[in-house]
A and B are shown apart, each in its own frame.
Chain A
Amino acid sequence: MTDSKLTLPSPELLTGGRAAPRASPRRLVAWYIVGGVVAVLGFLVPLVLRNVHWLDVLGQGLVLGVAATGVGILVRQTGLVNFGAGAVFGGGAYLYAIAVLQLQIDMTLAFLLAMVGITVMAFLVGIITVRTGHLQFAILTIAFASLLVQFVLTQFARPVTGAADGKILQQTGTFFGLSAKAMFQASTFWPVAWAAILIAVAVAIVVERSKLGRIARAIQENEERMLFAGYRVLWPKVAVFTIAGALGGLAGALTAMHYSFVSPSLLDISSGGSILVAALVGGPQSAFGPAIGAILYAIGEDAFGAAGRADLLTGIGIIAAIVLLRRGFVGLIEDVVKLIRRGVAKTRKGSSRVEH
């Protein structure tokens, strides 16, 4: 195995040297500093934002953003679009609920179990689904989410899942020192949600820069070429799918923890659709785009969801993202910044010419 690995050409070579865009070291340091400052300041938001309602809305946006970042990683690295991210989102929530209710273990342990469970599930589903084409993959993700919804609703699963009624959780113990009550409160839940989104974005960046990400992108560009070059094309895709699934499960488990409640709506197409639209609106081509999209979506959902029209928002969001914002909100910002820069450069050039 190791012998053949030595002779493999690098994925960059196979994609004509177009690998992860690397900023210059000085600029990279600047980005790290900015990122670090934002990361730390984010924890302090509840001290500034006193409005409980908005804190709650934004907190939900962050959790949605964790799942959306997962969907974004999958799109960016493999080109696969997951319509049924509700499967891992709701799956994580239900696994956590089952661990809490059936095993009667404390929150932290139940969370860890749920994370292991959802990662294994994502891995197994990934092996089946990523082998098919892009459209088939999209349809299968919907199929799998529907399968889980139907399973949760069966009489067989009712004692554990509560079927259509859902289940209220009696959580014991603490999660990072927070009791179930503290997890429910917007101001104390915020740091957990913020930490989760930082982890998700960090995972997205690490995957992007890792060898796994480079191989996955090269496969996306031309699967046959990678196959002929001696790479295995299945496992990188499965690995990325599993990582994305684990992030979806993380968001789901946190949601169950936050509300102390699970219901089949966490699993369904509406749930998966809202995760997908968050990723698309934010811009899946950037590591932090989906997180921004999720916050925008949460703000929109606050208005639409109250009228029971969250699906309408999702539908409009998807169409707007495809037709108007081809590269999402982040792409739009980048374009605006580029335009301004070009404008500035032009005026500078113009003024220097005058000086000569």
Chain B
Amino acid sequence: MIATLINSIAFSSLLILVVTGLAVIYGLRGVMNFAHGALYMAGAYLGYTIAQVANFWVALIAVPIVMGLVGFPIEFGVFRPLRKLSPMNIALLTFGAALIISDVILRIFGSAAYTANLAGTGLEGTVDLWGQRYPVYRLFVIVVGIVFSLALFLWLRFSRSGMYVRAVSQDPQTSAMTGINADRIGMWIVCLGTGCAGLAGVLAAPYVAVLPTMGAQMATIALIIVVLGGVGSIGGAILMAVIYGFVTTFGAQFLPEFAAVVPFLVAFLILVIRPQGLGRSRTT
């Protein structure tokens, strides 16, 4: 029971990292990035490769930076030149990009499942947790998740740039009128978002099976979470990520037959009651 509880928190931490990136990019750029799962997968494969040739700690530092830099070409090569397209068309574009990225990764790494090497990091093995052996690494994932969420909260709530981000997410036009340079903030937010996806990917690499299907799977989950949390609401997305993590993990424990189906059913149930999602979503 305690193990399941902690597993839920670990999985939720991972989901928080992914959906935050998705939610901030939507908030600032109005783009529903269907390729976010593919970026997460790219982060996982990159992390696996670096952990293989160097060390997992190196991967943990390098991957978010590299994936964050990927944000620049995405911002300047895709989002800015194509901003006249409708949000739906850009979503379709990212969907197509996700399929291409998956195919490329499948060609490079094949369809075998990998797990990143934790040897020599001090994160392998288990600890005694109230009489149960529990993997150290999952506790580490939880710590990263909590630190990340806290840092995000403090930044958004108490810094000037965080306030700008909240303002642009809520109402891009009015905030632009007050002199906020939405473009410049948007550029950094896109990098932050792709970096988050990379961090989630590298964190997942020793934890889940690194497979060419993991991207589409995570994209589906993350997109559902964002819809349920209320599109455009960062807090709603994080809240839903936690709920989703718990429902999935406890579902796997107590209803193993239907573990994969339960979260989808819960999602549809929520939407029957509240079509706009649980959080306070942007009105546009």
Interface residues of A (CB under 8 A from B): 79, 81, 83, 128-129, 131-136, 138-140, 142-144, 146-147, 150-151, 153-156, 269, 273, 276-277, 280, 309, 311-312, 314-319, 322-323
| A316 in contact with B267 given A133-B231, A135-B32, A138-B91 (CB within 8 Å) | no
Q: B100 contacts A316, CB within 8 Å?
A: yes
Among all A-B residue pairs, the 3 with the closest Cβ atoms: A315-B99, A318-B96, A150-B260
| A147 in contact with B99 given A128-B272, A138-B91, A139-B227 (CB within 8 Å) | no
CB distance from B172 to the nearest CB of A (A): 16
CB distance from A160 to the nearest CB of B (A): 14
Q: Chain B: interface residue count, which band?
A: 35 or more
Q: B224 contacts A314, CB within 8 Å?
A: no
CB distance from A47 to the nearest CB of B (A): 38
Set A133, A154, A315: member contacting B97, Cβ < 8 A: A315
Cα distance, A323 to B97, chains bound together (Å): 12
Set B32, B98, B99, B267: member contacting A143, Cβ < 8 A: B267
Interface residues of B (CB under 8 A from A): 32, 82, 85, 87-89, 91-93, 95-100, 102-103, 216, 220, 223-224, 226-227, 231, 257-258, 260-261, 264-265, 267-268, 271-272, 275-277
Q: B96 contacts A139, CB within 8 Å?
A: no
Q: A139 contacts B92, CB within 8 Å?
A: no
CB distance from B96 to the nearest CB of A (A): 3
Query: Which residues of chain A are within 8 angstroms of B85 by Cβ–Cβ distance?
Result: 322
Q: B99 contacts A318, CB within 8 Å?
A: yes
Query: Which residues of chain B are within 8 angstroms of A79 by Cβ–Cβ distance?
Result: 88
Q: A136 contacts B103, CB within 8 Å?
A: no
Query: Which residues of chain A are within 8 angstroms of B99 by Cβ–Cβ distance?
Result: 273, 311-312, 314-315, 318
Counting chain A CB atoms within 10 Å of each CB, which of B231, B272, B275 scores highest?
B275
Cα distance, A172 to B91, chains bound together (Å): 44
CB distance from B240 to the nearest CB of A (A): 13
Cα distance, A323 to B82, chains bound together (Å): 9
Q: B220 contacts A81, CB within 8 Å?
A: no
| 8 cross-chain CB contacts under 8 A | A81-B91, A132-B275, A135-B88, A143-B224, A147-B268, A311-B102, A317-B96, A322-B92
